[in-house]
């Protein structure tokens, strides 16, 4: 046999061995997935989240009981750049992921062999950042021989409410307000997410972040705007005659953002009438008023669309989710709307509003129970995903 023939034979042997291992893995995890779907016993899921600037790993029992939820935030790292730098985010996820997994197990007082399934955000988000979580999840799933569950990040935000409110069940109207998405959806059952309306351009959190940056406030802008808004008056009408409130369920935040940019530039020009006007600082009181007015207008835009959604769908409960759900002005506004319309309003605690692994593990539990979400080692990350 020639050297070339030996090489080909060796390659074919290793290739078939590799294929056999993958087939064994797929077969055994599919069987375990079916067992988990049908069992009445407890299910313990390890959830991994790495879609943006939080590396988070959590262990959740039966979709609602958090045994641990470790969040390693990169906020301080990205703050100096005024926003998330995708390449830096990916590199920091790589550095953090193993120790965050270890910490989640230690906090839950469990071993890897106690885990029934591995859940991971596979989309949407920053591609490089997602790949880190997906790769870690695939390795764990393969090494432990337990099912790998792919989770949609937006759906998982809603699941944070199942953890917070132990008896909450669909149907309800969900509002996901985050840095990347603004979605109003009809949740008919645990895995039936019908989008009724969404932003056609910037997300609400993105608008908060961009306006904050314009005003020289640190990243992330949402909490900063909220803090300054509390000190100011909502006395600026950014839209003047042209009202920003729409009559359908889709939303837009880029018009408001541009109106605020124009207002800030005009105010700065009035202070310093030369080409360097962009570098001058607004009076702190004016900054506070801009924050209060922007916060009010952006919340009005969302509340208006929610009102329409309630009317059209005859909804009985509203469930708020995503980073912007931590905003107390938004919660207060929706509380009054719900009181008027005799609806119940639910939202998670601030820790579960922003990105976390617990919401991923929780979502995976409900997917498993409906026989959905099983992935294999070909799972890839996706920057976008149809909701």
CB 175, CB 167: distance < 8 Å: no
Spatial strand order of the sheet with 117-123 comes to 65-73, 54-61, 44-49, 117-123, 148-152, 374-375
- Least distance in angstroms from the C-beta of 285 to Zn ion: 33
Q: Is the peptide bond before 220 cis (omega within 30 degrees of 0)?
A: yes
Among 180, 244, 348, 373, binds ligand KG4 (CB under 6 A): 180
Q: Toward Zn ion, which CB reaches closer, 53 or 355?
A: 355
Q: Does 209 bind ligand KG4 (CB under 6 A)?
A: yes
Q: Does 198 bind ligand KG4 (CB under 6 A)?
A: no
- Least distance in angstroms from the C-beta of 268 to ligand KG4: 23
Among 74, 178, 182, 288, binds Zn ion (CB under 5 A): 178
At residue 61, the 3 state secondary structure works out as strand
Q: Does 226 bind ligand KG4 (CB under 6 A)?
A: yes
Q: Does 289 bind Zn ion (CB under 5 A)?
A: no
Residue 344-363 contact track with Zn ion, rule CB under 5 A, x = bound: -----------x--------
Q: Does 327 bind ligand KG4 (CB under 6 A)?
A: yes
Q: Toward ligand KG4, which CB reaches closer, 220 or 373?
A: 220
- Least distance in angstroms from the C-beta of 328 to ligand KG4: 7
Which pair of tokens denotes residue 335? 């509380």
How far from the centroid of its chain's Cα atoms is residue 258's Cα?
25
Q: Does 49 bind Zn ion (CB under 5 A)?
A: no
Residue 170 touches which of Zn ion, ligand KG4, none (Cβ within 5-8 Å per kind): none
DSSP annotation string for 333-376:
HHHHHHHHTT-EEE---HHHHS--HHHHHHHHHHHHHTT--EE-
Stretch that binds ligand KG4, among 111-119, 215-223, 279-287, 333-341 (CB under 6 A): 215-223
How far from the centroid of its chain's Cα atoms is residue 114's Cα?
27
- Least distance in angstroms from the C-beta of 273 to ligand KG4: 33
- Least distance in angstroms from the C-beta of 295 to ligand KG4: 8
Pairing of strands 182-189, 117-123: unpaired
- The residue count for binding ligand KG4 (CB under 6 A) is 19
DSSP annotation string for 114-165:
G--EEEEEEESS-HHHHHHHHHHHHHHHHHHT--EEEEEHHHHHHHHHHHHS
Q: Does 183 bind ligand KG4 (CB under 6 A)?
A: no
**What does each C-alpha distance from 299 to 147, 204, 251 come to in angstroms?**
41, 9, 11
The rounded distance, in Å, linking the Cα atoms of 65 and 62 is 6
- Least distance in angstroms from the C-beta of 358 to Zn ion: 13
Q: Toward Zn ion, which CB reaches closer, 131 or 321?
A: 321
Which pair of tokens denotes residue 298? 């952006």
CB 232, CB 289: distance < 8 Å: yes
Q: Toward ligand KG4, which CB reaches closer, 208 or 366?
A: 208
- For the segment 328-347, give every residue that binds ligand KG4 (CB under 6 A): none
Q: Does 206 bind Zn ion (CB under 5 A)?
A: no
The helix or strand, by DSSP H or E, that contains position 379, with its residue range, turns out to be none
Residues forming contacts to Zn ion in the complex (CB under 5 A) are 178, 355
Residues forming contacts to ligand KG4 in the complex (CB under 6 A) are 52, 178-180, 205, 208-209, 220-223, 226, 322-324, 326-327, 354-355
């Amino acid at each position: 046999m020639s050297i070339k023939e030996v090489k080909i034979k060796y390659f074919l042997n290793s290739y078939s061995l590799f294929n056999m291992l993958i087939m064994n893995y797929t077969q055994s995890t599919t069987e375990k997935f079916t067992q988990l779907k049908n069992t009445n016993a407890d299910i313990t899921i390890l959830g991994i989240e790495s879609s943006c600037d939080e590396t988070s790993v959590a262990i959740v029992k039966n979709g609602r009981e958090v045994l641990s939820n470790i969040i390693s935030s990169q906020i301080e790292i990205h703050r100096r750049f005024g926003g998330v730098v995708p390449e830096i985010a990916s590199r920091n996820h790589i550095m953090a992921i193993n120790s965050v997994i270890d910490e989640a197990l230690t906090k839950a007082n469990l071993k890897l062999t106690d885990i029934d399934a591995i859940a991971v955000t596979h989309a949407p988000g920053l591609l490089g950042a997602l790949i880190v979580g997906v790769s870690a999840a695939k390795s764990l799933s393969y090494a432990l021989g337990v099912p790998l569950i792919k989770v949609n990040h937006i759906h998982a935000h809603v699941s944070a409410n199942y953890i917070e409110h132990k008896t909450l069940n669909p149907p309800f109207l969900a509002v996901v307000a985050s840095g990347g998405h603004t979605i109003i959806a009809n949740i008919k059952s645990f895995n039936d997410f019908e989008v009724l309306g969404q932003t056609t351009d910037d997300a609400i959190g993105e608008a908060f972040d961009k306006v904050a940056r314009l005003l020289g406030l640190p990243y992330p802008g949402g909490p900063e705007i909220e803090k300054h808004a509390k000190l100011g008056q909502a006395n600026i009408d950014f839209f003047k005659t042209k009202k920003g409130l729409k009559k359908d369920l889709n939303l837009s935040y880029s018009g408001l953002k541009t109106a605020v940019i124009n207002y800030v530039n005009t105010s700065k020009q009035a202070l310093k009438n030369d080409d360097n006007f962009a570098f001058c600082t607004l009076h702190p009181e004016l900054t506070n008023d801009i924050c209060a007015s922007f916060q009010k207008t952006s919340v009005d835009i969302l509340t208006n669309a929610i009102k329409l959604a309630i009317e059209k769908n005859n909804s009985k409960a509203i469930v708020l989710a995503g980073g912007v759900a931590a905003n107390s002005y938004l919660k207060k506004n929706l509380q009054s709307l719900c009181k008027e319309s005799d609806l119940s309003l639910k939202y998670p605690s601030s820790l579960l509003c922003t990105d976390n692994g617990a919401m991923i593990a929780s979502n995976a539990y409900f997917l498993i129970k409906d026989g959905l979400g099983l992935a294999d080692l070909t799972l890839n990350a996706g920057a976008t995903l149809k909701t």
